[in-house]
Amino acid sequence: MGKTADLTVVQKTTIDTLHKEGKSQKVIAKEAGCSQSSVSKHINREPLLNIRRHQKRLTWAKDKKDWTAAEWSKVMFSDESKFCISFGNQGPRVWRKRGEAQNPCCLRSSVKFPQSVMVWGAMSSAGVGPLCFLRSKVNAAVYQDVLEHFMLPAADQLYGDADFIFQQDLAPAHSAKATSTWFKDHGIPVLNWPANSPDLNPIENLWGIVKRKMRCARPNNAEELKATIRATWALITPEQCHRLIDSMPCRIAAVIQGKGAPTKY
């Protein structure tokens, strides 16, 4: 993959987020699942897009500035996140005696691109919904299947008969005409959302919590990785979700104060 236009919205968001965190292009490419040259081209293009993107974020934030935490509690936030099998920053620990550095018994093989899984999840101020592990590239048809079999059960679990608004980013599968028709047919309002704004989505904070809790985990394969993610996701409490939803007015205020620039969240 060598062209910036070939990157998905999720990949671009991952690159933007990690770049702002000061990660190297090599690390960013590995996490985003693309080539290092694609990362470089996207980052070098970023200044040209900032002014227009910031203006759209600012306009959106001003439109939502009077929303209260109670109003934000009616929103179901959703997102996808990539999880990789890894051993943290320090790598696997191997005990050996002096002079045994190259002994085959003291070496552990590694792979350039570790196994990974892509996960879809949703949350509200009442807690989290069931996870969906995505098996293929997410096109409009696949995404509608996720909505049917995972989002709707999550809505029943988190809202019961109460009304809610669904949030999603602007990935092609999400904004496809067929997907918009699906929402209309099911009578579900969708929150308008600014592009490239993971800092505004509280579920991003939940993914971060899950990944931090998994730092000491040692899954050996994709199935064990999925089990670990499920178990860790199940530990997320309604109180944690409620606090994150309550932060939405502060996030909006930060965007306005920063004239549309990314926030600390």
User: What stretch of H or E contains 231?
Assistant: helix 222-233
Task: Look at residue 2 in the predicted model and tell me its pLDDT.
Answer: 42
* pLDDT range class, residue 87, cuts 50, 70, 90: very low
The string of DSSP letters for 22-59 reads T--HHHHHHHHTS-HHHHHHHHHHHHHHHHHHHHHHHH
Task: Look at residue 12 in the predicted model and tell me its pLDDT.
Answer: 82
The yes-or-no verdict on residue 111 having pLDDT over 70 is no
Task: Look at residue 65 in the predicted model and tell me its pLDDT.
Answer: 96
Backbone angles phi, psi at 123, to 5 degrees: -150, 160
Mean pLDDT of 79-99: 63
* pLDDT range class, residue 49, cuts 50, 70, 90: low
Q: How far apart are CA 124 and CA 245, in angstroms?
A: 7
Backbone angles phi, psi at 26, to 5 degrees: -65, -45
Task: Report the half-sphere exposure of 92 (CA within 13 A, side-chain side).
Answer: 14
Please state the length of the chain. 265
Long-range contacts of 25-30 (CB under 8 A, 24+ apart): 30/113
Most confident range, picked from 1-15, 87-101, 200-214:
200-214
Closest CA to 116 of 219, 22, 216, 7: 219
Task: Look at residue 157 in the predicted model and tell me its pLDDT.
Answer: 96
In the chain, the amino acid numbered 224 is E
Q: How far apart are CA 204 and CA 130, in angstroms?
A: 16
